[in-house]
Amino acid sequence: MKRQVEKAVRRFQMFTHSDKILLPVSGGKDSIALWDILLKLHFKVHALHVQLGISEYSEKSADITKRFSEEKNAKLTIVNINEEYGFNIPLAVEKTKLPACSICGTTKRYVYNKFAQKENMDVIVTGHNMDDLAAQLRHSSSTWDLEGMLATYPVRPGKQGLIKRAKPLVYLTEKETLTYVITQKLPVFLEECPFSQGAWSIVEKQELNRIENKKPGFKYQYLTQFYKKAYPAIYEFEEKKKIKNDIKLKSCKICGAPTVKDYCWFCRTRAKILDIKLETN
Ligand code: AMP
Ligand code: FES
Ligand code: ZN
């Protein structure tokens, strides 16, 4: 496991021992395994747990991260979105009618980035594994969502207002991270989020596992061949499109985050949830 993480870190130039690493941890098997491995490899890691207010599920997830941090004497910050921004995920879903996973994912990414900027971190490292990335690639390519396909690449460079991001578990499957947390006897929370039922990721993962059973090594080939053969061309195509369409990023009028509109997606969504009227000119 450690060797696979080291290989990914080196191969994609994710970070070095002098970098300050922000590791968002959910309390699930992947981020807990990654936390343990990065500590064992002596990287400078600061963990961040985002409490989403999804009833008992969020309480238990936060408790696990606290337990790990105490047992390993590892740095952890917990951000409660209700205390910080005045809403939780169930309220956001009710008010916006958006799918929970989409609103939750964007909110978490916003919180990671804000924290990383405030603390001068060099890179944000998440626990997405090979199954997560292959499922996302299948899902995005079914509608030729090119940006979604690019987002499966294990390292995304930092740009104006956005911190560099990396996914060092790219070479490890869900089964492997599960085996790791069990054999290492790490505290871990194995329940699924109550909003995850019927999520596309579950369907895509089942389909990929069906193929993998017939063709061992399929998931690895599917992802790595995409990175090698298609990613560079799609990346270039999307960059050229941005220049041609003259898409310039501005700063959000409320929080300063990069956006093409006056307000960033997070501030617009938060205003909708809390019935705040935003000034437009
Ligand atoms: P998921 O989207 O739930 O599969 O999670 C992917 C990765 O995002 C995890 O491995 C963590 O690194 C991070 N993550 C997910 N949920 C949280 C959370 N509530 N707080 C902090 N990080 C999280
Ligand atoms: Fe985000 Fe379930 S953890 S919707
Ligand atoms: Zn904003």
Output the pLDDT for position 255: 93
Name the pLDDT band for 279 (thresholds 50, 70, 90): confident
Q: Could you say which ligand is closest to the alpha carbon of residue 85? A: 3
Output the pLDDT for position 200: 86
Give 169 or 101, the one with higher predicted confidence.
169
Using the predicted structure, report yes or no on whether residue 246 has a pLDDT greater than 80: no
Name the pLDDT band for 208 (thresholds 50, 70, 90): very high
For 130-148, write each residue's pLDDT tens digit. 999 999 999 999 999 999 9
Distance from the CA of 195 to the center of ligand 1, in angstroms?
A: 14
Q: Does domain 2-234 correspond to CATH entry 3.40.50.800?
A: no
Bridging pattern class, strands 258-259 and 250-251 = antiparallel
Longest alpha-carbon distance in the chain: 58
Percent of the chain's residues with pLDDT above 90:
87
Distance from the CA of 252 to the center of ligand 1, in angstroms?
A: 25
Nearest to 50 by CA among 117, 113, 100: 113
Domain range annotation of the chain: 2-234, 246-276
Output the pLDDT for position 281: 63
- Ligand 2: residue of 26, 56, 89, 98 to mutate (most ligand atoms within 8 A of CB) is 89
Decide whether any atom of ligand 2 lies within 6 Å of the 104 Cβ.
yes
CA distance 140 to 150: 9
> Does residue 112 contact residue 26 with C-beta atoms inside 8 Å?
no
For 33-79, write each residue's pLDDT tens digit. 999 999 999 999 999 999 999 989 999 999 999 999 999 999 999 99
Name the pLDDT band for 182 (thresholds 50, 70, 90): very high
CA distance 110 to 79: 12
Decide whether any atom of ligand 2 lies within 6 Å of the 101 Cβ.
yes
Distance from the CA of 148 to the center of ligand 2, in angstroms?
A: 19
- Ligand 2: residue of 51, 193, 197 to mutate (most ligand atoms within 8 A of CB) is 193
For 5-25, write each residue's pLDDT tens digit. 999 999 999 999 999 999 999
